[in-house]
Structure 1
Amino acid sequence: MTVFKTVLGAGAALAMSAVAALAEPGLIIDLGGKFDKSFNEAAYNGAQRWVKETGGSYIETELQSEAQREQNMRKMAERGANPIVVLGFANASTLERVAPDYPDTNFAIIDMVVDQPNVLSIVFAEHEGSYLVGMLAGMKTQTKTVGFIGGMDIPLIRKFACGYVQGVKAVDPSIRVIQNMTGTTPAAWNDPVKGAELARAQIAQGADVIYAAAGGTGVGVLQAAADAGIYSIGVDSNQNYMHPGSVLTSMVKRVDNAVYNVFKAGTEGTFKPGFLLMNLANDGVGYALDEYNAALITDEMKAAVEDAKAKIIAGEIKVHDYMSDDSCPVE
């Protein structure tokens, strides 16, 4: 009987390890859709890169409403996805509840910190990347007026705005920065019509460069800027291609790398819960320079930004993080 139990136990253990080895990672796309050309799409692209390089497959679901957050998270865990990547600050409280119920499932959350033993929290130094594109805006403006259009009015988006203003003011403290937020609900991430309206209002006030940190809403901002013959700055994904010659640059936030690395670590058995900061030093954020905007960025502009980048990494330039104290030293 003892021998039988031992053999049975060994067989069960092998079966369980085989299941674990075959576990597919999961990705929960946030509100706004996976083809928002910004945050969600960057995550999707990272997952697709992993598929292309490994031949693996993953489980994906898209949120259609706030009410689906917990339901989708639990369903994905129950389907056996491991690790599971959830996108955005709005998932934090849900993950705090869900993660303890699935202790053998690893989770990663992007843009928020969840202190659970099976969760990797990935955050970005958006203020650092925004500082660099702010410098480019400050060097490019002819009217000494630039704009910022955020999505949902939350501390995270204020963090983008504050970094941007600091970069602009580093070039010329007299430059005016007009700031607008799209709304106070998640609908603010996917309202390109409102984005275009806000952009036109800023253009009417003299803005000739507008930075959009607003998810899918930013598509309307970039379109309105192109229509008016002024410059825009994209966000998260490299959006330079959308309006060549009009998009000055994009503040790239490597959400794609974050998702790719989580999937890779999960399937290779190297996933480690904890905390990860993606910043200028590890190429977690930056500014996009390619064939679509190369003619817009002079050698002098690039040199100035690269110098600032090196000084931020070295700690010689301190970019204030709005989320550290809910304030910005410059406006």
Structure 2
Amino acid sequence: MKSVLFRLSLLVVLAAVLVSGCAPAAAEPVTVEVTRVVEVEAAPVEVVVTATPAPVEEEIFRVAIVMPSSITDMAFSQSMYEGLLKVQAEMGGPEKMEIAYSEGMFKVPDAAAAIRDYASQGYNLVIAHGSQYGTSLAQIAPDFPETAFAWGTSLDTFQAQGITNVFAYQAEAQEGGYVLGTLAANMSASGVLGVSGPVEAGDAKLFVDGFKTGAMIAKPEAKVNISYTGSFSDVSLMAAAAETHIAAGADMLTGSSQSVVGAIGVAKEKGAKWFGAQWDQTNLAPDTVAASMVYDWTGVIKDMITSVKAGVMGGKAYTLTFKNKGLVIAYNPGVEIPADAKTAAEAAIQGIMDGTIAPLSGPKQ
């Protein structure tokens, strides 16, 4: 009986050992990496452009001018036309500044039609180069507020009439007249001087009055004979006036307008000396023209163009003077001028510039 129980106990123990040996081993812990994707709003990125932008090409500036005489008249019209050419060259040539012109416009209705036509074509600046054009310009300018106009010789910009797009310009020709009168009186052997003007208006009258004043201050005993032909263009009338002056004993002559070529021809023929106005007239008679008062309009033209580009279409009045270099005395090296005469002329220029001489009355007390 004990033997049977022992055997049963042994079987139970063996069974337990077998069961424990067949049980699975405990699992080791496993580490798992988990990546989470989170969307984040991107910050704005500043982009810097380093490329140089293409330059903006400036539009051509267009100028038109209407003149009473020829661009080669050796006087009023040529002085302005040559000034325009000089400014055009300084601006870079025809590609930067266009110049259109109408010459020989002595008839005011024809000039007015040309002025209006240029304005209707969109020119930036239209110049009515003649005091006779003023009335027409005052009627035309208000119709073209986007166009700038200019005229002379005058200081009236028509602002009193409510017009805002007109410039005006005037040569203070009495200054040059005074100097040439001083020179002529000191050179004259006869003591008689002859002056021929077109009409008693504008820079023509200023020149004549200044010439007489300068001559009489230099030589109080001198005689200055003055005549007006009534025409800017009639060459034969100007020649006839010169003949009359020489017949009256004048050996020094001067005159102002586009018609002076007639008088210069007479002076050359008769052996008198001539004093030019508005332009250097030496080439017309190299042995006759002693000196000339020359207009230099370049400063005026430049300022008008600058003003228009800045949006100022008018309202300015300009003057040509010795002080601003708008007036220049051109001496002819081919004509002998006595040293004392030239010294007196240069002293007159200085006196006018410093204000000690008034060209229409003489030295100030």
| Alpha-carbon offset, residue 298 of structure 1 | 3.0
Alignment of 1:120-269 (within 5 A): 120-154=167-201, 156-183=203-230, 188-215=231-258, 217-255=259-297, 257=298, 260-261=301-302, 264-265=305-306, 269=310
Task: Return 269-278 or 283-292, whichever deviates more.
Answer: 269-278
| Counterpart secondary structure, 1:286 | strand
Q: Which amino acid counterpart does residue 237 of structure 2 have in structure 1?
A: K
| Counterpart secondary structure, 2:101 | strand
Q: Percent sequence identity over matched residues?
A: 23
TM-score (norm 1): 0.82
Question: Paired residue for 1:301?
Answer: 341
Question: Paired residue for 1:45?
Answer: 82
TM-score (norm 2): 0.75
Gaps of 5+ in 2: 1-55
| Alpha-carbon offset, residue 262 of structure 1 | 5.4
| Counterpart secondary structure, 1:152 | coil
CA contact (8 A) 1:37 1:239 kept: yes
Q: Which amino acid counterpart does residue 256 of structure 2 have in structure 1?
A: A
Distance 1:174 1:277 in 2: 33
Aligned equivalent of 2:324, options 282, 295, 299: 282
Gaps of 5+ in 1: 1-16, 322-327
Task: Return 297-306 or 218-227, whichever deviates more.
Answer: 297-306
CA contact (8 A) 1:151 1:214 kept: yes
Q: Which amino acid counterpart does residue 58 of structure 1 have in structure 2?
A: I
Distance 2:76 2:247 in 1: 28
| Alpha-carbon offset, residue 205 of structure 1 | 0.6
CA contact (8 A) 1:152 1:182 kept: yes
Task: Return 63-72 or 222-231, whichever deviates more.
Answer: 63-72
| Alpha-carbon offset, residue 97 of structure 1 | 1.3
Distance 1:303 1:86 in 2: 38
In the alignment, structure 1 residue 58 sits paired with structure 2 residue 105: no
| Alpha-carbon offset, residue 286 of structure 1 | 3.1
| Counterpart secondary structure, 1:235 | strand
Q: Which amino acid counterpart does residue 344 of structure 2 have in structure 1?
A: A
The structure with the greater share of residues assigned to helix is 1
CA contact (8 A) 1:28 1:87 kept: yes
Distance 2:66 2:310 in 1: 21
Larger-gyration structure (1/2): 2
Q: CA RMSD in A?
A: 2.4
Question: Paired residue for 1:291?
Answer: 333
CA contact (8 A) 2:192 2:251 kept: yes
| Alpha-carbon offset, residue 157 of structure 1 | 2.5
Higher relative contact order, chain-length normalized (CA < 8 Å, sep 6+): 1
How many residues end up aligned between the 2 structures?
Answer: 296
Task: Return 96-105 or 218-227, whichever deviates more.
Answer: 96-105
| Alpha-carbon offset, residue 290 of structure 1 | 4.1
| Alpha-carbon offset, residue 42 of structure 1 | 1.2
Question: Paired residue for 1:21?
Answer: 59
